[in-house]
Structure formats: structure tokens, C-alpha cells
Amino acid sequence: MIIEIIKTIILGVIEGITEWLPVSSTGHLILAQEFIELNMSEDFCEMFDVVIQLGAILAVAAVFFNRLNPFSPKKTKTEKADTYALWVKVIVACLPAAVIGLLFDDILDEYLYNSTVVAFMLVIYGVIFIVVENHNRGKRPKFRSLESLPFSTAFMIGLFQVLALVPGTSRSGATIIGGLLIGCSRAVAAEFTFFLAIPVMFGASLLKLVKFGFDFSGSEFVILLVGMVTAFAVSVLAIKFLLSYIRGNDFKVFGWYRIALGIVVLVYFTFIE
């Protein structure tokens, strides 16, 4: 059991870092699980990969609690109205991915959840990050705060989030790219991506839990709890790091990293495994 907990902590660290940085948590977990395999049922492991994200969601709620809380007594009436509007923008942006995800969840898992697709998506979106940043160099962002983001633009960013249903794309990567292309500043694109994760990842986790059922053994419950707690703690650090990093840097380093990781994944599963 101790060995399984150590494995779970490692997987939680990987999830906590890669869920928020635009580098694809799926790509990292697929590679990591070649070397770190939980001694659990296949159904549990499939559910674990998704539900561990609940810890990451709670990290967003913790870091941005005041920003997301429309009932805060510290906020003025205008600030509370802005917070309600922000939640509506998040819900509007989540609709496309929610609809497509519910309709095609099983098909996507069956046909696209494989190392080849993940590797190519890592490389393709790595290149896109570099191209988009080069294209935007020297341009002043149109939207420099979430309050200035129109509902129509929020919905457009949500359309980009649909792309993340393809494994290896990265949910944060797809929405950040969408935000940058539409004219958001890096900070606005990143923050809106964090907030979009709350309903999307909660919905995906709930769906997997319902499919798996809630009849956990004692060891399964411990493994899931350890994974979520680890993902929560590491996610807090990852979110704060990214917000600090993009104040003075662009996303190109993540693009190059994705390309390198995609090549590693492709080579490993083609020639080594």
C-alpha cells in the first residue's frame, strides 16, 4: 500500500503541474503511467486519471476565492455585479465543450485516447503557440481585463476549448491560444482558462464517477484522496507560478517544450515500448 501511495503522490504532482501549464496533462500521464502503474483495476485507473482533477479545481477556488465570490462583503455593488457577469461568461464559454463532450465522450475515449494522437497534438499546438506569439509580438491586447471581455468573445474562447477534447491538445493550451488569437492579454487568457476549468473539470469528474459508481474499496478511496490532495497542493503553486511568469514572458517556451515532449512520446511508443 505504501508503494501505491508513493506512486499516487508522483501522479498527483504531475497532474498538479501539467493541468494548468499549457503542456497537456494527458500527454504527461500517458508517458508517466508507462513507468508508474497503479496496482488497481483498469476501470479505477481510468476514473482516477479524471477525478484526480477535482483537487486541481479546488486549487483554483482557493487561489481566486475572493475574485470568484459574488457574496463577499468586501466588494462594492459594482464589483459584485462584475463577479456575477464573470460567472455567466464562464458558463456561456463552457456550453460548447459540455455539449460535445457529453455526446461524444465514449467515442473520443475509444478512438483518440492513444499515444500517437497525443504526440501529434503536443507538437501541432506547440508550433501554434510559437506562431501565435510571434504574430502578436508588439501588438497591444484588445482585452486587458476580464470585465472588458464581451459575452460573445467568451463564447468564442469556449469554442476553442472544444479542441481540447482531443487528448494531447491541453485544455488550458487550447483556450489560451484562443484568447490570444481573439485579442486577450496573456493574463486575461490564463485567468479565464483557470475559471473555465471549474465547471468543465467538475462535470468531467462527476461523469466518470457516475460511470464507475461510488462503491470504493478502502484502498481505492485512500488512493483517490491522496491523489486529489497532492494535485491540490501542487496546483496552487503551478497557478501562482504561471501568473507570475507571464507578467514578463510569453508562452513560446511552452511551445518548444510541447514539441520536445511530443517527439519523446512518439519515439518511445513507436520504437521503444
At residue 208, the pLDDT reads: 74
C-alpha cell of residue 74: 468586501
**Under a CB-based contact definition with an 8 Å cutoff, are residues 199 and 93 in contact?**
no
Q: How far apart are CA 196 and CA 219, in angstroms?
A: 32
Query: Who contacts 58 (Cβ-Cβ below 8 Å, separation ≥6)?
Result: 228, 232
C-alpha cell of residue 62: 482557493
C-alpha cell of residue 134: 510571434
C-alpha cell of residue 51: 477525478
User: Can you spell out the DSSP letters for 182-199?
Assistant: HTB-HHHHHHHHHHHHHH
To which residue does cell 504532482 refer? 13
Nearest to 159 by CA among 143, 177, 183: 177
At residue 110, the pLDDT reads: 75
Q: How far apart are CA 223 and CA 16, in angstroms?
A: 16
**Under a CB-based contact definition with an 8 Å cutoff, are residues 171 and 20 in contact?**
no
Q: How far apart are CA 133 and CA 154, in angstroms?
A: 20
Residue 143 pairs in a beta bridge with 184
Interval 118-167: pLDDT, tens: 999 999 999 999 999 999 988 899 999 999 999 999 999 999 999 988 88
At residue 206, the pLDDT reads: 79
To which residue does cell 468543465 refer? 200
Query: Who contacts 34 (Cβ-Cβ below 8 Å, separation ≥6)?
Result: 268, 273
Q: How far apart are CA 141 and CA 179, in angstroms?
A: 10
Beta strands in 180-248 (DSSP E): none
C-alpha cell of residue 173: 493550451
Q: How far apart are CA 254 and CA 244, in angstroms?
A: 15
Q: What's the burial of 252, exposed, middle or buried (CB within 10 Å: 0-12/13-18/19+)?
A: middle
Model pTM score:
0.88
> Per-residue pLDDT for the chain (273 aa), expressed as one digit of tens each?
788 899 899 999 998 999 899 998 878 887 887 788 888 877 787 778 778 888 888 899 999 999 999 998 889 999 999 999 999 999 999 999 888 877 777 777 777 778 888 999 999 999 999 999 999 988 899 999 999 999 999 999 999 999 988 888 888 999 999 999 999 999 999 999 999 988 878 877 777 777 777 777 778 888 889 999 999 999 999 999 999 999 889 999 999 999 999 999 899 888 876
